[in-house]
Amino acid sequence: MKVAALIPAFQAQGSVPDVIRAILDQANSQGTTVPVWVVDDGSTDDTAKVAELAGARVIRHGTNRGKGAALVSGFRALAQEGFEATVTVDADGQHPAEEALRLACLPAPAETLVLGVRNLVRDGAPRSSQFSNSISNRFLSLFSGQSLRDTQCGLRRYPLPQILELAPRSPGYAFEAEIILRAARAGLRIVQVPVRVWYPPAAARISHFHSVKDPTRIVFRVLSTWLDRGAP
């Protein structure tokens, strides 16, 4: 299976180089090849420049379009290059490289959607994240007909041709919930794998996720997707 790591990044010049180098080093230590691609989603800092210097191939958005739009841009570019799947990794260093490589090398068919499942309490996630994730889990489980344990984790392995056929529409954080619902509706195999993540101390955390607005958008997107029976 030809697989790459994909990092959606916005204003991430301080963290993304370490994330890139860690993935490349981890892949090298395992004797495998997992190239790293970065989608710079309209950053005004040096995210694109430092990502290239660290060894990533970079796609640039002229303006900030949102995480979902960044992922879709990356998916399309990778599919055009012949990649079958991609492991998505957050730019802030929350996802350890060894966990990303474990998903990349997971012995599951290439057409499988692999969801990372965090232990938010063990790994010290903010209470707001624990709460919004629990609501999202219950909501998506109900509408997808599957028992889902982590619907907001960004560490995933996406099967590229199958995901692009689903034509996801959300440009923001709701993308990750929407794609689960579309995948379940299409009968795509979904595998859930426990993963370890790292949360920096509260004072050092940088997040573009809004604890009220973004969960509301997720609920709206799930409802609109569920009601849109003509969609995949």
- For 117, the token pair is 């499942």
Q: How confident is the model at residue 225 (pLDDT cuts 50, 70, 90)?
A: low
The whole-angstrom separation of Cα 51 and Cα 184 is: 34
Neighbours of 39 (CB within 10 A): 29
Work out the burial of residue 155: count CB atoms within 10 Å of its CB; fewer than 13 is exposed, 13-18 middle, 19 or more buried. buried
Nearest-CA neighbor of 178 among 146, 227, 232, 218? 218
Percent of the chain at pLDDT > 70 equals 86
For the segment 81-117, what is each residue's pLDDT rounded down to a tens digit?
Answer: 999 999 999 999 999 999 999 999 999 999 999 999 9
State residue 201's pLDDT score: 64
What domains sit in the chain, N to C, each tagged with a CATH number? 3-227 (3.90.550.10)
Q: What is the phi-psi region of residue 225: left when phi exceeds 0, alpha when psi lies from -120 to 50, beta otherwise?
A: alpha
Block residue for tokens 């040096």: 46
At 26-59, the pLDDT tens digits run 999 999 999 999 999 999 999 999 999 999 999 9
